[in-house]
Amino acid sequence: MVRLNGKGGVEYAVRRDMDGAWLYDADLDGTDGAWEPDAQNATWCASKEDALHVADLNGLTGVEYALAGGYSLWERDWVNEEEIGEDWEPAEPRPVA
């Protein structure tokens, strides 16, 4: 489910726990996944379900369609472009509770 508010919403990505690297999959098909050190380069998805789907395509889920051990789901807030002012800074990612 997509979470939105009047100024933006929340997006989700997969992070590898051992080194904090972020999953990047340019085509969202599991054929060219890579691990990026910077969260800005991660594949951010509109919903938890979409992020789990990308993880599954990259072989990072178990039998019950949950992330395998050693990987975690993270979220960050995003805002609409028209809400961005001079003092705006991107939100820091946080683990999904």
Determine the structural domain holding residue 90 and report its residue range: 8-95
Domains held by the chain: number: 1
Q: Is residue 66 part of a domain?
A: yes
Tell me if 2 is assigned to some domain: no
Assess if residue 3 is contained within a domain: no
d(CA 15, CA 69): 11
Instruction: Give the Cα separation of 69 and 31 in Å (integer).
Output: 21
- Tell me, yes or no, whether 1 lies in a domain: no
Whether residue 39 has pLDDT greater than 70 = yes
Q: Give the residue-averaged pLDDT of 32-51.
A: 95
Assigned domain for 45 exists: yes
Q: What is the pTM of this model?
A: 0.86
User: Confidence class of residue 90 from pLDDT cuts 50, 70 and 90?
Assistant: confident
3-state helix, strand and coil shares in percent for the chain, rounded to the nearest 5: 15, 30, 50
The CB density around residue 17, as the number of other CB atoms within 10 Å, is 12
What pLDDT is attached to residue 17?
A: 97
